[in-house]
């Protein structure tokens, strides 16, 4: 599969890209010790892409992962029940989504005690260097389904 934008071609990374990746990693001060296998030995839920310019030269390699960003709100019950449902629920969610191609679970919170608990009891770690770009909710564009094999669907179950 090949995709294009503004004169660039995007294609899956292949073994033939190994030499290019090694060459770039050898001079990359921000990824010491990273192997070309990071982009070539993928697990379900990961994809790696090479971007070629109009002359056919690779100018960028990038990897994507399917992730789940978790937001929540608790009911008005005792703290012990919150802790219980959170501990059991996050474990259930992690086990469920990892078998459905998800590779990361991201948890955002501004609550210091919840942040501490997430690190102490739920297996979350701080992730330095992470930048987030929030995307607007698009109208369902059926033409994109062919490119990525998915059309975003929103659940409106339970809405009035």
pLDDT of residue 129: 82
Q: Tell whether the model's pLDDT for residue 45 goes beyond 80.
A: yes
Confidence class for position 110, pLDDT limits 50, 70, 90: confident
| pTM reported for the whole predicted model | 0.71
CB 122 within 8 A of CB 86: yes
How many Å apart are CA 136 and CA 95, to the nearest integer? 29
The string of DSSP codes covering the chain is: --EEETTEEEEE--GGGHHHHHHHHHT-TTSTT--THHHHS--TTEEEEEEE-TTS-EEEEEEEEEEEEE-----SS-HHHHHHHHHHHHHHHHHHHHTTTEEEEEE----HHHHHHHHHHS-----TT------PPPPP-THHHHHHS-------TT--
How many Å apart are CA 74 and CA 117, to the nearest integer? 15
Q: What is the mean pLDDT of residues 4-8?
A: 95
For residue 123, which of 104, 110, 101 has the smallest C-alpha distance?
104
Q: Tell whether the model's pLDDT for residue 148 goes beyond 70.
A: no
Q: What is the mean pLDDT of residues 108-123?
A: 90
Enter the tokens of residue 90.
């996050």
**pLDDT top residue among 150 and 130:** 130
> pLDDT (tens digit, 9 = 90+) per residue, 46-68?
999 999 999 999 999 999 999 99
Q: What percent of the chain has pLDDT over 90?
A: 61
């Amino acid at each position: 599969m090949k995709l294009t934008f503004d004169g660039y071609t995007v294609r899956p990374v292949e073994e033939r890209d190994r030499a290019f990746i090694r060459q770039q990693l050898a001079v990359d001060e921000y990824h010491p010790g990273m192997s070309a296998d990071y982009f070539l030995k993928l697990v379900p839920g990961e994809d790696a892409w090479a971007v070629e310019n109009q002359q056919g030269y690779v100018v960028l390699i990038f990897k994507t992962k399917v992730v789940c960003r978790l937001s929540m709100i608790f009911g008005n019950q005792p703290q012990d029940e919150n802790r219980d449902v959170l501990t059991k629920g996050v474990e259930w969610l992690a086990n469920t989504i990892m078998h459905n191609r998800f590779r990361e679970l991201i948890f955002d919170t501004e609550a210091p005690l919840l942040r501490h608990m997430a690190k102490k009891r739920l297996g979350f770690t701080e992730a330095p260097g992470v930048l987030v770009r929030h995307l607007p909710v698009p109208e369902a564009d059926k033409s994109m389904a062919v490119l990525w094999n998915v059309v975003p669907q929103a659940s409106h179950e339970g809405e009035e």
